[in-house]
C-alpha cells in the first residue's frame, strides 16, 4: 500500500525519485513556490479518442505455434489494455490551472517545456504568452518522426510541438555544452574534426519513437523516447536540481532525470501509469494523493 501524499514529508526526505498517484492540482497545491528547476508537461493531446495499447506477451503452451529456447513451446496473447480518455470540451480551461501551478513551482532560473501536437499548440501558446509574458518565450521545438498512418488527402502529420518558456528571460539555465550532439546531415561539408564531434541540435529534432523491440519499451501508450527528454534535462537543469513531470505516464522523465543525477517528482492519476513507473524506477518513493474535495452544495 502506498503512503498518503505529504508534501512536507517529501520535502524533508528529498528522495531521488518520487511517484505520486493523484490529481496534479491536488498534489502541487501543497508544494512551496520555486522548488523546481524544470517542469515538463506532456498532457493528453485532445485527440478526441481513447489512447490505448494492448501489448503482446508470451505464454507457455504445449500446443503453442512458437518454439523458444530448449524447445519450449509457447503462444502469444494480448495483455490487458492500458489507456486513458483524450477528449476535452474546454481544453485550455483544463490546461490553464496546471500551467499556473507549473509556473509557480519554477525557481527564478527555471524553464517550462509543454509537449503538445498540432491540435492545441497554438491555443496553448496564447495562454502561455498571457501567463508568462511574451518576453519569456524561448523556443518552439519541433520533434519530427516517421511513424503512423500515411494520409493521402492532406500532408501527413509527423511531428509534435514543444513550447519552451522561462521564468526570467534575463537569467535562466541553458547549458548547450551538456547536450548530446548529433551527426551532421552533410558531414562532407564540414571538417573531419567537426564531423567527429557532431553538431548542437537545432529547434528541429529528428528522433525516432520508442521502437517495439527497444529496451525502453514499457507498453504504455504515448510513451516518449529517452533521447528527447535527455536533451531537455541536460540543457535546462543541473545535477541535484528537481525536475517535475505532472503527466508522468510511463516515467521517462524520471528515468532520464535520475540517470543524469537530478531529482524527479512524477505525478499521474492513472493506476496503470503508477505500475509502469514503479517497475521502471523500483527504488522510488511512492505516495497517493487524496482527490480534491468538491464544494458542498448550499442547503436550500
Q: Rounded CA gap, 102 and 92, in Å?
A: 15
Confidence of residue 123 (pLDDT cuts 50, 70, 90): very high
Taking residue 288's Cβ as centre, other Cβ atoms within 10 Å add up to 17
pLDDT higher than threshold 80 for residue 275: yes
Are the beta carbons of 163 and 103 closer than 8 angstroms?
A: no
- pLDDT attached to residue 69: 45
Q: Which of 37-51, 153-167, 270-284 has the lowest mean pLDDT?
A: 37-51
Q: How far is residue 175 CA from its own chain's centroid?
A: 20
The 3-state DSSP class for residue 175 equals: coil
Pairwise pLDDT comparison (85 vs 114), residue with the higher score: 114
Q: Rounded CA gap, 154 and 19, in Å?
A: 41
The grid coordinates of residue 193 equal 574534426
Confidence of residue 232 (pLDDT cuts 50, 70, 90): very high
Q: Rounded CA gap, 255 and 232, in Å?
A: 13
Confidence of residue 252 (pLDDT cuts 50, 70, 90): very high
pLDDT higher than threshold 80 for residue 291: no
- Determine if residue 261 is left, alpha or beta; phi over 0 gives left, psi from -120 to 50 gives alpha, anything else beta: left
- pLDDT attached to residue 46: 58
Name beta bridge partners: 18: 265, 285
- pLDDT attached to residue 168: 98
Arithmetic mean of pLDDT, 238-247: 98
- pLDDT attached to residue 296: 41
Q: Which of 58-72, 117-131, 193-207 has the lowest mean pLDDT?
A: 58-72
Arithmetic mean of pLDDT, 97-118: 97
Q: Which of 127-141, 201-215, 231-245 has the lowest mean pLDDT?
A: 201-215
- pLDDT attached to residue 299: 37
Pairwise pLDDT comparison (1 vs 162), residue with the higher score: 162
Instruction: Work out the percent of the chain whose per-residue pLDDT is above 90.
Output: 69
Arithmetic mean of pLDDT, 153-159: 91
- pLDDT attached to residue 1: 59
Arithmetic mean of pLDDT, 93-118: 96
Arithmetic mean of pLDDT, 255-283: 96
E strands of the chain, at which residues?
A: 3-4, 17-21, 36-41, 51-53, 56-60, 66-67, 73-78, 82-84, 106-116, 137-144, 159-166, 204-206, 242-245, 263-268, 285-288
Q: Hey, what's the torsion of the CAs at 208, 221, 120, 92, to 10 degrees?
A: -150
pLDDT higher than threshold 70 for residue 82: no
pLDDT higher than threshold 60 for residue 68: no
Confidence of residue 197 (pLDDT cuts 50, 70, 90): very high
Q: To which H or E segment does residue 216 belong?
A: none
Question: Domains in the chain, please, with CATH?
Answer: 3-50+86-288 (3.40.50.150), 53-84 (no CATH)
Amino acid at each position: 500500500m502506498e503512503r498518503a501524499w505529504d508534501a512536507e514529508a517529501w520535502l524533508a526526505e528529498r528522495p531521488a525519485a518520487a511517484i505520486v498517484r493523484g490529481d496534479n492540482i491536488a498534489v502541487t497545491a501543497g508544494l512551496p513556490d520555486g522548488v523546481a528547476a524544470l517542469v515538463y508537461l506532456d498532457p493528453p493531446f485532445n485527440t478526441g479518442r481513447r489512447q490505448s495499447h494492448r501489448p503482446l506477451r508470451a505464454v507457455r503452451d504445449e500446443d503453442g505455434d512458437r518454439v523458444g529456447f530448449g524447445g519450449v513451446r509457447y503462444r502469444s496473447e494480448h495483455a490487458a489494455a492500458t489507456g486513458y480518455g483524450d477528449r476535452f470540451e474546454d481544453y485550455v480551461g483544463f490546461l490553464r490551472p496546471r500551467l499556473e501551478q507549473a509556473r509557480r513551482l519554477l525557481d527564478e532560473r527555471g524553464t517550462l517545456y509543454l509537449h503538445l501536437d498540432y491540435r492545441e499548440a497554438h491555443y496553448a501558446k496564447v495562454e502561455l504568452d498571457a501567463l508568462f509574458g511574451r518576453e519569456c518565450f524561448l523556443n518552439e521545438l519541433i520533434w519530427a518522426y516517421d511513424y503512423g498512418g500515411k494520409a493521402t488527402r492532406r500532408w501527413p502529420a509527423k511531428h509534435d510541438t514543444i513550447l519552451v518558456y522561462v521564468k526570467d528571460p534575463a537569467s535562466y539555465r541553458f547549458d548547450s555544452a551538456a547536450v548530446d550532439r548529433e551527426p551532421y546531415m552533410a558531414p562532407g561539408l564540414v571538417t573531419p574534426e567537426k564531423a567527429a564531434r557532431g553538431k548542437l541540435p537545432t529547434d528541429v529534432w529528428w528522433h525516432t519513437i520508442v521502437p517495439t523491440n527497444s529496451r525502453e519499451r514499457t507498453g504504455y501508450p504515448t510513451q516518449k523516447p529517452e533521447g528527447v527528454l535527455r536533451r531537455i534535462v541536460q540543457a535546462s537543469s543541473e545535477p541535484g536540481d528537481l525536475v517535475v513531470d505532472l503527466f508522468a505516464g510511463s516515467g521517462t522523465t524520471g528515468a532520464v532525470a535520475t540517470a543524469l543525477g537530478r531529482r524527479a517528482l512524477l505525478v499521474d492519476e492513472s493506476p496503470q501509469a503508477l505500475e509502469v513507473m514503479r517497475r521502471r524506477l523500483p527504488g522510488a518513493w511512492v505516495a497517493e494523493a487524496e482527490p480534491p474535495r468538491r464544494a458542498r452544495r448550499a442547503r436550500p
